[in-house]
A = this chain, B = another copy of it.
Amino acid sequence: MNDYDRGYAQFTQMVGEDKIEGLVARFKSVCPDFEKEVVSVVGGRIWTRGVIDLKTRSLCSICVLASLGRDQALGLNYRMAINNGARIDEIFEAIFQVAVYAGFPAAWDALVKLEAVLKEMDGEN
């Protein structure tokens, strides 16, 4: 299996079969090659590496994204974290590390985004 296919399968597992097409369409609409690189590199080469479980990898990712204030990827990673088995209270703890190490305001922005994503997900069910 090549990087792209491995990444597509990985993202499908993490966002759900009903959401994968919407996700890749969003990436493609802003730049087709960007979709190819995100799926192949982020999904295919990195998320598939193993060694640590997907839930831990998700909490790590949330910490990077909250620290840097990357809004869209943070939203996506909250969804993937939940699908990867992270409970909301576990996500909160990752964000408390952000609070002391990147500042309380970074944590606040991240928590507001989490609230929005949880509301969205509620509306989908």
Q: Hey, which bits of chain A sit against chain B, CB under 8 A?
A: 3, 27, 29-31, 33-34, 37-38, 40-42, 45-46, 49, 51-52, 56-57, 59-74, 89-90, 92-109, 111-112, 114-115
Contacts and interface: CB of A to CB of B under 8 A. Distances in A.
Contacts of A49: 33, 93, 96
Contacts of A59: 52, 56, 59-60
Contacts of A3: 3
**Top 10 A-B residue pairs of the complex, sorted by shortest distance between their CB atoms:** A73-B105, A70-B105, A30-B111, A63-B63, A64-B101, A103-B103, A60-B63, A102-B103, A52-B93, A60-B97
Nearest to A113: B30
Contact of A99 (B37, B71, B105): B37
Contacts of A56: 56, 59
Contact of A61 (B97, B108, B109): B97
Nearest to A107: B34
Given A56-B59, A68-B105, A70-B106, 11 more contacts: A33-B96, A34-B92, A34-B95, A34-B107, A37-B99, A41-B100, A49-B93, A49-B96, A60-B98, A72-B109, A102-B103
